[in-house]
Chain A
Amino acid sequence: MKFDNNRPIYLQIISEIHKDLASGRLVSGQKLPSVRQLAIDYKVNPNTIQRTFRELEGMGMTFTKRGMGTFITEDAEMIEEIKISVPMKRLLKLYRNDWEV
């Protein structure tokens, strides 16, 4: 995917993951790919992915099982919130563009 180089890349990856949750491509309790794998998939530096993981965990969106990897939260309420927030953000963006025009 192509990133907007004007915004921190880790934030853009987080919103990608939000979108994947909203669309159901990612589900509660699912294991995320490894840092290295995601770095290759997104074509970014592994440290950027590490940062993304740190932020996700800080937000409570993921949790780590020692030696097993990073998993999507099992907190159903939180996932529901994200699912709602994604289309909301998109709508807001649309409106904003409308106003600017």
Chain B
Amino acid sequence: MNTRIEIANLQKRYGRKVVIQDMDLILESGKVYGLLGPNGQGKTTLIKCIAGLLTPEKGQILINGEMRETRHKGMISMLADKDLFYKWMTVQDTINFYDTFFEDFDRADSEELIRFMELVPQEKVEKLSKGMKARLKLVLVLSRKAKIYLLDEPLSGIDPVSREKIVETILDRIREDAIMVISSHMVHAIESLLDEVILLSNGKIIAKEEAEVIRSEKGISIDDYYLEVFRHA
């Protein structure tokens, strides 16, 4: 079944600071969206609103035509910037944890991904390097057969080898019945993954374009497009 997210008139504030203002956005399954913009433009806030981790002051988020509720959390697999592991956990423990917690967790797939990412099941999560930890987080998030994947900065601070592995894994897990949103300011690294590009500035969408349209009509890469837009923003 197809999935559709409709965001209308969304507003989110932190105290007096408006982080998202009057945002309208439609996201459809089978597509990979790049949520792009410099730091502090509202990327993470928007993702958290969709995930239900933040409650907006105004506007609505509809998932398949229904108001976003707690039960929709089962459809959403999110990669957060924070680590959610206990210190005593091994790689295997995190897998077991996710497996018991999430109904849609595909254990066989997680084992394949662990191998591909060259993670050692017995290793303590605490001892993992930043790159390896990022790999593990992605394994957990993508092993769920969710309808909506929200990947917040999956590549920031990651070495090139891990980056390539992560991009390849994301690519392999793109499904026709799922929505994928990837936020990043490392535009170059995710360029070939994207169907659509959403540029955020000051809590507003300043551009939404198909990736191939940018290349064919403007004759420039998304990376250059990004620079062009934000240099004048």
A residues at B contact (CB < 8 Å): 3, 5-11, 39-40, 43-48, 51
* B30 CB within 8 Å of chain A: yes
Knowing A44-B192, A45-B195, say if A9 contacts B215 (CB, 8 Å): yes
Please encode chain B, from 17 to 53, with 1 for each CB lying within 8 Å of some chain A CB and 0 for all others.
Answer: 0000000000000111000000000000000000000
* B212 CB within 8 Å of chain A: yes
* B209 CB within 8 Å of chain A: no
A98 to B215, CA, bound (A): 26
Chain B: minimal CB distance from A52 (Å):
10
Knowing A43-B168, A43-B171, say if A6 contacts B221 (CB, 8 Å): yes
A8 to B193, CA, bound (A): 13
Q: Which residues of B contact A51 (CB under 8 A)?
A: 212
Contact A47 B219 (CB under 8 A): no
Top 8 closest pairs, chain A to chain B, by CB: A5-B221, A8-B216, A8-B215, A44-B192, A8-B212, A6-B221, A47-B195, A5-B191
Contact A40 B171 (CB under 8 A): yes
Q: Which residues of B contact A45 (CB under 8 A)?
A: 32, 171, 174, 192-195
A47 to B30, CA, bound (A): 8
A48 to B174, CA, bound (A): 12
* B228 CB within 8 Å of chain A: no
Question: Given A6-B224, A7-B219, A43-B192, 5 other A-B contacts at CB below 8 A?
Answer: A5-B188, A6-B221, A44-B192, A47-B30, A51-B212
Measured CB to CB, the nearest residue on chain B to A47 is B195
Chain A: minimal CB distance from B83 (Å):
28
A-B contact pairs, 25 of them (CB 8 A): A5-B188, A5-B191, A5-B215, A5-B222, A6-B215, A6-B220, A6-B224, A7-B215, A8-B216, A9-B192, A9-B212, A10-B212, A39-B171, A40-B172, A43-B167, A43-B192, A45-B32, A45-B174, A45-B192, A45-B195, A46-B174, A47-B32, A47-B195, A48-B192, A51-B212
Chain B: minimal CB distance from A59 (Å):
16
Measured CB to CB, the nearest residue on chain A to B180 is A45
Contact B221 A47 (CB under 8 A): no
Please encode chain B, from 171 to 195, with 1 for each CB lying within 8 Å of some chain A CB and 0 for all others.
Answer: 1101000000000000010011111
Measured CB to CB, the nearest residue on chain B to A48 is B212
Please encode chain B, from 188 to 205, with 1 for each CB lying within 8 Å of some chain A CB and 0 for all others.
Answer: 100111110000000000
* B57 CB within 8 Å of chain A: no
Q: Which residues of B contact A9 (CB under 8 A)?
A: 192, 212, 215
Measured CB to CB, the nearest residue on chain A to B191 is A5
* B223 CB within 8 Å of chain A: yes
Q: Which residues of A contact B171 (CB under 8 A)?
A: 39-40, 43-45
A46 to B29, CA, bound (A): 13
A32 to B219, CA, bound (A): 29
Q: Which residues of B contact A8 (CB under 8 A)?
A: 212, 215-216
Contact A47 B31 (CB under 8 A): yes
Residue from B167, B215, B221 whose CB has the most chain A CB atoms within 10 Å: B215
A99 to B135, CA, bound (A): 48
